[in-house]
């Protein structure tokens, strides 16, 4: 059941813009993983996966999207934002919102 104006993903995804939220979070994430001294092999491979979003031919026929990648690596992403204390960018708040609404 929907509670007030707060969307409940278990009832409906109406009112939840998961794609937009995911794209915004990826922009915040890239501010860290695109900086060579903040990155590592894991984030290099993650960037490769991002490059294959929406391109099933590059991913064995599977069509990835940003939300899937966030869901798959949510703990790694949270750890990175915490490491760089990315609270001013609201990255952790947006990550929590995505987890609550869409994952």
pLDDT reported for residue 2: 47
Q: What is the spatial distance between Cα 64 and Cα 67, in angstroms, rounded to a whole number?
A: 8
User: CA 84, CA 94: separation in Å to the nearest integer?
Assistant: 15
Which whole number is the average pLDDT over 74-79? 93
When mean pLDDT is compared over 72-76, 81-85, 96-100, the highest value belongs to: 72-76
The pTM (predicted TM-score) of the whole model is: 0.78
- CB atoms near residue 70 (< 10 Å): 23
Report which listed range, 14-23, 64-73, 91-100, is most confident: 64-73
């Amino acid at each position: 059941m929907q509670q007030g104006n707060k969307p409940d993903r278990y009832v409906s995804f109406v009112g939840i813009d998961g794609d937009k939220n995911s794209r915004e979070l990826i922009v915040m994430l890239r501010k860290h993983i695109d900086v060579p001294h903040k990155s590592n092999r894991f984030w290099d491979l993650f960037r490769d996966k991002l490059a294959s979003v929406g391109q099933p031919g590059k991913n064995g026929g599977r069509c990835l999207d940003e939300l899937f990648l966030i869901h798959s690596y949510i703990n790694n992403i949270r750890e990175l934002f915490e490491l760089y204390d990315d609270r001013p960018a609201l990255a952790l708040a947006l990550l929590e919102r995505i987890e609550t609404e869409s994952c």
